[in-house]
Structure 1
């Protein structure tokens, strides 16, 4: 007898959850929230967003994503000085396959700005800054 929950979680939440289940103490400063209370108490509140980011090698630029409610916002960092950042916005209720980005629609600009601000807040750093730091590390020989 398991249970199904519809809240969102990020991988950093899984780390905290597994650590709590194993009675381990994560290092100070690790991000994420344990889901143990949420799993044990059907009335417990849980956040309604998830964040993901990737700045790996062999890609033109990194990206960060925020899923909040029915919307998914994806921000692609600029690959170079000639090309601007790219933004995507999907209404996952109407477009679960993510075929049609709403990012160019004027009526969605306020939502995009709000979601981008929430993304930066959750990451504690602007994705552009993270990308620049990763590129500098890579140039010094650190594989990302």
Structure 2
């Protein structure tokens, strides 16, 4: 970083936040203590956020958890696995898709929900074809869902 080749770094985890291994403040403390003091270059956290990995969304709607902490610290948040390894579109029925936003495909509805999550600044998507990529781009180009809609979605998914 001193040579100007890197401008920042991030931490990616699948279970680190949910298993209580660390928090965003812990990571910021480690960055300050071990990687440059107050001038550390920790810029990003990456974690799964989806209709399956819904805890970060639930917490963010309540103003706590890793997404809220990262946003408060000015960190970028990359949401990974928004389609849960490609499984979500096949199990997202028309009722849930319509609740999210009418006219979208199941994949687009899942992506839009993740992109709308408070604190999320980027959604990581792997597309298997050009049409899938175009579908993903169209999903995140939609106006984001408001907090009331996100709460309805969460209520439906967590009421079982």
TM-score range, shorter chain: under 0.3
If asked which structure has higher relative contact order (CA below 8 Å, sep 6+), I would say 2
Instruction: State the TM-score, normalizing by the size of structure 2.
Output: 0.24
Greater radius of gyration (CA): 1
Which of the pair is proportionally richer in strand? 1
Instruction: State the TM-score, normalizing by the size of structure 1.
Output: 0.26
